[in-house]
Structure 1
Amino acid sequence: MPVIQNPILTGFNPDASILRVDDDYYIATSTFEWFPGVQLYHSKDLANWELIPHALQRISQLDLRGNPSSGGIWAPAISYDNGIYYLLYTDVKARKGVYKDLCNYLVTAEDMNGPWSEPILLNGSGFDPYLFHDDDGTKWLLNMQWDFRDGQSRFGGILLQQYDPLEQRLTGPIRKIYEGTDIGVTEGPQLFKRDGYYYLLVAEGGTGINHAATLARSSRIDGPYVTDPDYPVMTTRGNADYPLQNAGHGMLVETQQGEWYMCHICSRPFPGTNLNPLGRETSLQRCVWTEDGWLRLAHGGRLPALEAPSPELAPHPFPEQPAKDDFDAPSLGLQYQTLRVPAEESWLSLSERQGFLRLRGRESLHSWNRQSMVARRLQHFRCTVETRMEYEPDHFMQMAGLVFYYDEQDYYYLRITEDGGRKLGVVSSNGGKYKEDRTSELSVDGWSAYYLKAAVNERLLQFYASPDGLQWEAVGGELDMGALSDEYGGKLGFTGAMIGLCAQDLNGTGKHADFDYLIYKSG
């Protein structure tokens, strides 16, 4: 019997919201501080997925300048009604400390490929918004309540309020409809209707080892909601050695044949650790209903399966993405994102030099504003990355190269600069501690181009360099990929490792670097 291999979306792809419209399936995932916002996928068979254009392409929809790392886009939610696609998302402007400065927005489109409308501001009472379309035509917003007051749970329950699509605003009373279970940290609501009940699926336990998916139901939309007596539906807590960890934040979809599936967050940490540079990924589970109307994993138990039975749909694979990008297209490929700011001609060009990606150096790797970086997700535990760069720095304030980046606190950077001659070496930040590996630095004054390579082997990263792409020399020692993980050093981030091409010019003169290609090969 054909099976779905989990995870279905590898690398940094958390908080998946899933939707079926006729014979098409869609998933939206969180993108945090990366632009454009909200990564979207399309499938015909639930097993094979293609990346389609991101939803939030304009600064008027999403301005991330100054957003903290692991802020920005949290938990987008997609829905559909009467020919219109709806996308809700949270933009988090401050995430540490007692307060959460955030706004929840709504955009619409007639096609999942866009274009998406200008945003409608809904509220800011808490994150994880979801829009439910009831049978009578009414629309209802759900989100969790953030409570900063002393002595209160920060996760104050699930709120419900009606949305008026004609006036494009929330209306009527705000009701708290569910406070969760003893697992705590109740968030991520999804509401759906089946056999006369309103079912509320929530995430609980936080995004780490206690993560879970819990179901409750009510005969009325405003409750009271009764929790599944055998909760949670799914969790990996208490099973630290299981290959898929941190399972929770589920969303449900029903196929054309009446089969039910849950997409959910998961992580694949290095054995014996909670570290995974691929970040939180998306998996899919087949579900069944009990006679008394509760949801269960089809394979039994609460642990997510590594393989799920395929639905009764014709296989529909998509062409594989080529390993090499020669930057010949007029715009960046969909696999790329930029850090907080859109790819604009002021700092990025694919036309000034045909077949090259030109980046003008701007702010440092520690900036929350105007970095010049184009990056793609790390999606495999074993892979090689290669680029060829032409660059002529004339000051130590100018740098360019290949970076493995989690955030401004944790990264590894193979860069070329000018410091008494052209120098090629590795600089890094580990928990915010900056370091230059001078002992392994290469003098590259005679090089006309710089071939840069990285090899990832599970937890180890090794950089290489070459003047011709034929003879390679290791630069520095092996580096720990575990440092590019959500929970490294207790920082509790929410993204994953990104592989970037970047340039900095701290003098403000915009010295450019030209990148000929980028190769990403798994294995």
Structure 2
Amino acid sequence: MTLLRNPVLRGFTPDPSLVRVGDWYYVANSSFEWFPTIPIHRSRDLAQWEYAGHVRGAVPGDSLAGVPDSGGIWAPSLSRDGERFWVVYAVVRSVGTAYFDTDVFVSTAVGVGGEWSAPRRVAGHGFDPALFHEGGRLWLLNLQNDHRPGGRRFSGIVLSELDRETLAPVGGTHLLVQHERLIEGPKLVRRDGWYYLVLAEGGTGFEHGVRVARSRAVTGPYALDERPLLTSRDDPSLPLQKAGHGELVQLPGGEWVLSHLTARPLDTGGGPRCPLGRETAVQAVVWDEVGWPRLRQGGHHPAVEVDVPTARALPASPALLDVPAGPPPGDGREELGWPWSSPRGYPDPSWADAHTRPGWIRLRGRHGPESRWAHSLLAQRITEHRAEAEVTVEARPRTFTQAAGLVLWYNTEAYVSLDVTWAEPEGEEQQGQQWQGRGRTVLSLVEREESATRQAAVVDVDADGPLTLGVTIDDVEARFWYAVGGAARTAVGPVVDFSKLTDDYGTKLRFTGAMVGIHAVDLVGGAFTADFSGFRLNCR
């Protein structure tokens, strides 16, 4: 047996969709507004995972410019029909409205790290689509959204058959199940003559769970199990919270597992918060005497440690292991692939250059950090509650409209940045007038939370040489610092509340996770550049 420790994918990896191909397992996760779109990891034993590629081209035009925070690609569903991998997903362009404004797309590939077909739009009723393959037939599951005044935004699960070649609907739409509690994220699996509908229940927060329904016919009607398969909502002391959004998969030896999302909360004065975002976990499943799935450990609480059968050693399959290191060669972006991510578009050589100065990344400043269009930001996921990040930056800003530095990032309304920028001579009011040749280079620590932005500290620095900027995270506390050459670290500003960079803070819907990265801003000319080297993120 192999002992896995949950979460198996740590940090911002929500809505896992698990598929087994032979003795290999693949998980696709939501990417929301981030690129690369739909990251995919692989494993031989469900315990150790590695990045395996992503669904390149998932968004037509490779742009999500303008989508709101936590919009973009929601809950991709990965499947295989014996010949190809399939992925279906929704691009959500409105968050917090009745409409969602979704486009549902399907793409296919022979290997997850290879070339994916151009996305084809299908008629979808809402987000959280999934595909079910059986006997050469293709079925599309969807959440039904009723946007009308008085309607239910989560109005049940529907099923439509699609033509395998054209992806056009075949026949009518079938209502499978409705429930007084919010249900979404449908997945279908067949066992012993039953069709099992696995549902996310209760929303994506601390009330989340997994509920199962079943039917003798794929088109229903489906009867709900009277008890949840998985949830943490009744015990706030559990180390794994928000457990939900599951998918059942059978192992080579006949055993079953459930992939699901979860989160690890921090205790704060404002209640439990999960700045690492929603993560991927795996549970062992057995079937009871009347044919319902149950957690092997009993009850419905997620386990941190789970024994799963040890994988057999099999020769690699070239078709399945086609895993390039990053974007296709020749476009200047290889060095800026995973684990780097960028919001609303891929890193483009016009603003993220890893070639001009070997060993350095040159960022050209564009929009400010609250832009949903063209913010020059590269970031990596924070995977543990204790972490440290640092980077060396060379930048010579000449105006307050230019800045570059290290940023703790959740979204455009929740971030903390330590930037090299320009300020008026000490003691003078903020008047601009940088064109007069006066002013100084400073480090500015700025904290943003929803509608409020505050400058927490300003420190004079020497602009003629490189500066090392860093942040140390210890549970809820984040401390920024800088160093010049080999000198000791100098603290900048007060302790920052890291737990505010989370789904669980503020008044708006949030679905991603905390990240740390580098960025550059030039609000006037769009020509200011900053060079970064030695980026290091250590999570422990």
Same fold? TM cut 0.5: yes
Query: Which of 245, 248, 268 does residue 244 from structure 2 map onto?
Result: 248
Per the alignment, residue 137 of structure 1 pairs with: 136
Contact preservation (8 Å) 1:46, 1:311: no
1:361 aligns with 2:365: yes
Instruction: Write the letter of the residue equivalent to 1:238.
Output: D
1:485 aligns with 2:502: yes
1:304 aligns with 2:288: no
Per the alignment, residue 470 of structure 2 pairs with: 453
CA–CA distance in structure 2, aligned partners of residues 494 and 176 of structure 1: 28
Deviation at 1:163, TM superposition (A): 0.9
CA–CA distance in structure 1, aligned partners of residues 88 and 61 of structure 2: 12
SS class of match (2:155): strand
The 3 A distance-change label for structure 1 pair 161 and 499 is: same
CA–CA distance in structure 2, aligned partners of residues 400 and 368 of structure 1: 18
CA–CA distance in structure 2, aligned partners of residues 275 and 302 of structure 1: 22
CA–CA distance in structure 2, aligned partners of residues 112 and 88 of structure 1: 14
Contact preservation (8 Å) 2:126, 2:143: yes
Deviation at 1:168, TM superposition (A): 2.8
1:3-42 superposed matches below 5 A: 3-42=3-42
Residue correspondences, number? 507
1:281 aligns with 2:279: yes
Deviation at 1:470, TM superposition (A): 3.2
Deviation at 1:123, TM superposition (A): 2.4
Per the alignment, residue 433 of structure 1 pairs with: 452
Structure 2, unmatched stretches of 5+, are: 315-324, 326-331, 424-438
Per the alignment, residue 94 of structure 2 pairs with: 94
Deviation at 1:55, TM superposition (A): 1.1
For structure 1, which segment, 9-18 or 333-342, has the greater mean C-alpha deviation from structure 2 after superposition?
333-342
Instruction: Write the letter of the residue equivalent to 2:165.
Output: L
Per the alignment, residue 354 of structure 2 pairs with: 350
For structure 1, which segment, 423-432 or 102-111, has the greater mean C-alpha deviation from structure 2 after superposition?
423-432
Contact preservation (8 Å) 1:158, 1:176: yes
Deviation at 1:469, TM superposition (A): 4.1
Q: Deviations over 1:391-423 (max 9, x none)?
A: 111111000000001111111000010121111
Deviation at 1:151, TM superposition (A): 2.4
CA–CA distance in structure 1, aligned partners of residues 398 and 251 of structure 2: 60
SS class of match (1:156): coil
CA–CA distance in structure 1, aligned partners of residues 115 and 49 of structure 2: 21
Instruction: Write the letter of the residue equivalent to 2:224.
Output: T
The 3 A distance-change label for structure 1 pair 269 and 168 is: same
SS class of match (1:331): helix
1:199 aligns with 2:196: yes
CA–CA distance in structure 2, aligned partners of residues 45 and 3 of structure 1: 9
Deviation at 1:61, TM superposition (A): 5.9
The two structures, once aligned, show a CA RMSD in angstroms of 1.7
Contact preservation (8 Å) 1:408, 1:432: no
CA–CA distance in structure 2, aligned partners of residues 214 and 61 of structure 1: 37
CA–CA distance in structure 2, aligned partners of residues 90 and 434 of structure 1: 33
CA–CA distance in structure 2, aligned partners of residues 193 and 470 of structure 1: 63
Contact preservation (8 Å) 1:451, 1:469: no
SS class of match (1:31): coil
Deviation at 1:189, TM superposition (A): 0.3
Q: Deviations over 1:254-299 (max 9, x none)?
A: 1111111101111111126231110111111000011211100000
Query: Which of 424, 436, 446 does residue 443 from structure 2 map onto?
Result: 424
Per the alignment, residue 225 of structure 1 pairs with: 222
Contact preservation (8 Å) 2:275, 2:498: yes
SS class of match (1:210): coil
Per the alignment, residue 378 of structure 2 pairs with: 374
Contact preservation (8 Å) 2:187, 2:199: yes
1:413 aligns with 2:414: no
1:120-135 superposed matches below 5 A: 120-134=120-134
Contact preservation (8 Å) 1:61, 1:119: no
Query: Which of 430, 455, 470 does residue 487 from structure 2 map onto?
Result: 470
CA–CA distance in structure 1, aligned partners of residues 336 and 6 of structure 2: 28
CA–CA distance in structure 2, aligned partners of residues 519 and 256 of structure 1: 39
SS class of match (2:336): coil
CA–CA distance in structure 1, aligned partners of residues 73 and 444 of structure 2: 34
CA–CA distance in structure 1, aligned partners of residues 59 and 143 of structure 2: 26
Per the alignment, residue 165 of structure 1 pairs with: 164
Q: Deviations over 1:135-177 (max 9, x none)?
A: x211000010011122222111101001112223222201111
SS class of match (1:441): strand
CA–CA distance in structure 2, aligned partners of residues 138 and 387 of structure 1: 52
Deviation at 1:62, TM superposition (A): 4.4
Per the alignment, residue 85 of structure 1 pairs with: 85
Deviation at 1:210, TM superposition (A): 1.3
CA–CA distance in structure 1, aligned partners of residues 248 and 313 of structure 2: 21
Per the alignment, residue 324 of structure 1 pairs with: none
Deviation at 1:447, TM superposition (A): 4.3
CA–CA distance in structure 2, aligned partners of residues 153 and 239 of structure 1: 28
SS class of match (1:374): strand
CA–CA distance in structure 2, aligned partners of residues 58 and 143 of structure 1: 19
1:329-344 superposed matches below 5 A: 330-344=334-348
Query: Normalization by structure 2: what TM-score?
Result: 0.91
Instruction: Write the letter of the residue equivalent to 1:303.
Output: H
Instruction: Write the letter of the residue equivalent to 1:406.
Output: Y
The 3 A distance-change label for structure 1 pair 172 and 357 is: same
SS class of match (1:482): helix
For structure 1, which segment, 52-61 or 401-410, has the greater mean C-alpha deviation from structure 2 after superposition?
52-61
CA–CA distance in structure 2, aligned partners of residues 75 and 213 of structure 1: 15
Q: Deviations over 1:90-121 (max 9, x none)?
A: 10000112221111100000111121110110
1:443 aligns with 2:457: no
1:104 aligns with 2:104: yes
Instruction: Write the letter of the residue equivalent to 2:356.
Output: E
SS class of match (1:490): coil
For structure 1, which segment, 385-394 or 171-180, has the greater mean C-alpha deviation from structure 2 after superposition?
171-180
Per the alignment, residue 322 of structure 2 pairs with: none
Contact preservation (8 Å) 1:241, 1:271: no
Contact preservation (8 Å) 1:35, 1:337: yes
Per the alignment, residue 75 of structure 2 pairs with: 75
Deviation at 1:63, TM superposition (A): 2.6
CA–CA distance in structure 2, aligned partners of residues 201 and 391 of structure 1: 52
1:503 aligns with 2:520: yes
Contact preservation (8 Å) 1:409, 1:430: yes
